Structure 1
């Protein structure tokens, strides 16, 4: 059984009180408790003498710590948690709810500073400057903070900005890729946030290393990216699939228990999801914006239908002209009901399979056991989710509609990001061809001009 003892290691007037945890004959941990005492007030029972009120209070705090450490020791031993000096230091701080250093030079503290002031931070946008970080950005910083906390436990120390060198970043990257098994995209995103935090720290007059402002982040190469979209023909398959046969729905549910798990399959729920797919692939918006559409977003001008949306992620205001007859019909007569985002993703896979989108394709799919995406060959319906709607819109209309128009609808800030989004390289010939086509259209009604051609002689 583990034993706990408090002790002094000096005879100075303000001696630090240590806690020693003896787990076995060979394993013993020792750390400062953060409390101090005059050795004259220390008793042979290894606790403060009960002669003063402050000593009684100190004694109670040490007993509280003893109980806290023992309780967590037993619990963590049962869960195979590594018990070391870092673990003991954490228990001491958690027991008394202490902030482990308030030094602004600590990476974790500045991440928390950014989160604490998220609603007043200035963010540059195409339209100028806005106040407040988006929900998505706050989520990314929160995830990054948890990753850093976990990494600090691994290296058993708190990370200071002046330690963020090339060597540190290499080790951190290795841990993200080889220990956490993160993808190139996820690893690159965390390195990008690390760089952003370092730059922000320097703006707040916190010393950082020159290297920290030049950290290289990365993403998957084009050849390693497998983007899933629904083609015009596949969207026609979905549009033409009837979901009113109750018996057919029951048979599908029995035959596909995993795919339909926890889903209410009725003609109404399937028709609702079908309509979200058809609208989503025609307006080019993110899933979160798509699901918030109501009749208040719709307006008419000159007999045409327009959809006005303020994108949640970027706060951009975009307007989409709705011209596809089947989408106009859905919006006017059968506007789908909002459902949870994840629920829609589950229904989308059912809709696609019932519509016959079962071709085996290469792509990445989440392994629920490892919580990591794995590259492989899967039936296409398994890889389709609401984020594919926006890509489908962009891919289906690319080169048919001027890219600048598509960017205005999707909300991408520049063409390079748009092309990366649909995994296309800039086609300069296509741009030239498009220019010539528009030029011809502009001048097709003009009368031909007569030209005087010299014969080459003066006669």
Structure 2
């Protein structure tokens, strides 16, 4: 019997599921009770020529001898790949087994790009060479990550509806049902659900440029967001930041999170950009401290002045250690709790029983996350600094997006006030003008 043991824990066996003259050969691969795989190997045999003793073809003719050699080669190849991949932490599942079988026999599967999820993968696979709207070549790491998550959502929905989604399926009735599933079944927020609709449109617009037929509905979809009146944005004020600075943290982890928090709230960068900073990003010019960095999402080169005294001290004398975004979000609320950032505010929480969002009132520290850093910077300096200057630092593409980010309406007087201020400054610099004053006395 051909029953190969691998590392004392996995077994491999070839089997037939029927007794026809063209029976498909399957490979069974069992690692443990949870991982018990079975996949076609893409070869067939007359069941009469199959040995139930060896679980391999009989060697009664030249064709069966060649087939037996192929299967034995496959078994050794699977063995080697399992030993290699399992040590790397690779997920061992049916997709893995299929790919290993195809790799052994040098099979190249032709991808059908009319299948929606296949085209998403096509975008991911060609991310480094795809042209963007601004003419640049290559999709950012963050955008690729979003496409991967979107692909996983679509793949899960396909399992739910038991159907492979084609571009031709993306009519209004389909996207309406998809929206209901995202909101009611997955319990995603309105904003996150709206983002998935933006992804559908983006993928379909791209596909149409590659001469793939798409529906009119899919390329006219609009994303959507929660009503501004229903949004609750939680930021740390300058007073909050002073309280955090003046609060001693009891553990090394909390001390590092505290330092990243204070830096983040004074330089206004996204979490990934913030946590990639090192002392190499620091530049000192005329006794002023600057951070120079390239933003991952926008690929813009940005210089940020560091002006707060205790933040300068941290940066120059006690630069924080490298830490993950997950670690930040694990400990940040404890940092804020110890600093007594406990003003009662409104916000949404997820009900653990039904996974729905509930509006409630809690201490502010319970709502603070790493995303609060950049938003605190934008909120604290809004109206204190010219908005274009703030946008240049935060990386927002336009003022409208910046104001939505901090939940503010456009200040109609801002430009007029700024013009009046700069005009007054301009007039002070003008040279006095000698005027002829007529007198009534002759």
1:176 match: 182
Deviation at 1:354, TM superposition (A): 1.1
With 184-193 and 443-452 compared, the bigger mean Cα shift is at 443-452
Counterpart in 1 of 2:87?
A: none
Q: How far apart are 1:233 and its partner, in Å? A: 1.4
* Other-structure match for 1:115: 124
The residue matched to 2:283 in structure 1 has which SS?
A: strand
Other structure's SS at 2:289 match? strand
Residue in structure 2 matching 1:165, options 156, 168, 171 = 171
2:197 matched to 1:191? yes
Q: Does 1:335 align with 2:341?
A: no
Whether the 8 Å CA contact 1:93–1:99 is kept in 2: the answer is no
Call closer, same or farther: CA 1:34–1:376 in 2, change over 3 Å.
same
Question: Whole-Å Cα distance in 2 between the matches of residues 94 and 6 of structure 1?
Answer: 24
SS of alignment partner, residue 291 of structure 2: strand
What runs of 5+ residues in structure 1 fail to find an aligned partner? 9-13, 20-32, 62-88, 244-264
The answer as to whether partners of 2:187 and 2:355 remain within 8 angstroms in 1 is no
1:401 is aligned to 385
TM-fit CA distance, 1:290 = 1.4
Matched, 1:235 2:267: no
Whether the 8 Å contact between 1:15 and 1:36 is mirrored in structure 2 is no
Q: Deviations over 1:117-158 (max 9, x none)?
A: 122222345xx51x3222221111111111111111122121
The CA distance in 1 between the partners of 2:437 and 2:230, in whole Å, is 57
Matches within 5 A, 1:46-61: none
1:332 positional shift: 1.7
Conserved 8 A contact 2:22-2:47? no
Q: Per the alignment, in what secondary structure is the counterpart of residue 413 of structure 2?
A: helix
State the alpha-carbon separation in 2 of the partners of residues 16 and 454 from structure 1.
115
Q: Give the C-alpha shift of residue 186 in structure 1.
A: 1.2
With structure 2 as the length reference, what TM-score do the two structures score? 0.74
1:313-336, Cα deviation, whole Å (9 max, x unpaired) = 222110012222222222222222
In the alignment, does 2:142 pair up with 1:136? yes
Q: Structure 1 residue 362: deviation in Å?
A: 1.3
8 A Cα contact 2:351 2:358, kept in partner: yes
1:289 Cα offset (Å): 1.5
Question: In the superposition, relative to structure 1, how do residues 425 and 451 fare at CA in structure 2: closer, same or farther (>3 Å)?
Answer: farther
Any conservation in 1 of the 2:41–2:101 contact (CA below 8 Å)? no
Count of equivalent residues: 381
Indicate if the aligned counterparts of 1:289 and 1:312 stay in contact, CA closer than 8 A.
yes
Query: How far apart are the structure 1 equivalents of 2:305 and 2:100?
Result: 59
Shift of 1:302: 2.6
Cα deviations by residue, 1:71-104 (Å, 9 ceiling, x for unpaired): xxxxxxxxxxxxxxxxxx99x9899779998322
Instruction: Pick the aligned partner of 1:210 from 192, 206, 216.
Output: 216
Within 5 Å, which residues of 2 pair with 1:348-359?
348-359=332-343
1:323 to 307, 330, 345: 307
Structure 1 CA distance, aligned partners of 2:335 and 2:321? Answer: 16
Deviation at 1:435, TM superposition (A): 2.3
Q: Give the RMSD, CA atoms, in angstroms.
A: 3.9
* Residues 17, 23 of structure 2: 8 Å contact kept: no
Q: Within 5 A, what are the aligned runs for 1:45-124?
A: 102-124=111-133
CA contact (8 A) 2:403 2:409 kept: yes
